[in-house]
Amino acid sequence: MKDLEFIGSSQEDLKAFPEEARRDAGFQLHFVQMGQLPADWKTMQSVGANAMELRIHRNGEWRIIYVAKFRNAVCVLHAFEKKTQKTRQSDIALARRRYREVEIRESKGEQSKEVKP
């Protein structure tokens, strides 16, 4: 099972989800940690190779962008409420920037200090 690693403010952003959405997110992220796919997802190539969007439909629409391709952890890049049909460019840009940070760190063989069990 891989660890969860929250990049930037993603953990605090996830904690701001309503309780039911947060609980669903936890279950779905656990599936990802176990190497399985979540119940509702789509690829996010605009963020980076193998980036995925986890969709939560509880008390609104909630999204978690993550990447599970790295060896030691599932990296949660961004967590946010989706208020429009199309994902905002600012959300994509933030996730892309965090994805690049993780890629650079991984290429250097460094381990983040933000890893959460």
Q: Where are the domains of the chain?
A: 3-116
Which architecture characterizes domain 3-116 according to CATH?
A: 2-Layer Sandwich (3.30)
Asked if the model's pLDDT at residue 66 lies above 80, the reply is yes
Residue 64 CA to its chain's centroid (Å): 4
* pTM higher than 0.85: yes
Other residues' Cβ atoms within 10 Å of the Cβ of residue 41: 17
Asked if the model's pLDDT at residue 98 lies above 80, the reply is yes
Residue 108: pLDDT band (50, 70, 90) is confident
pLDDT in tens, 73-92: 999 999 999 999 999 999 99
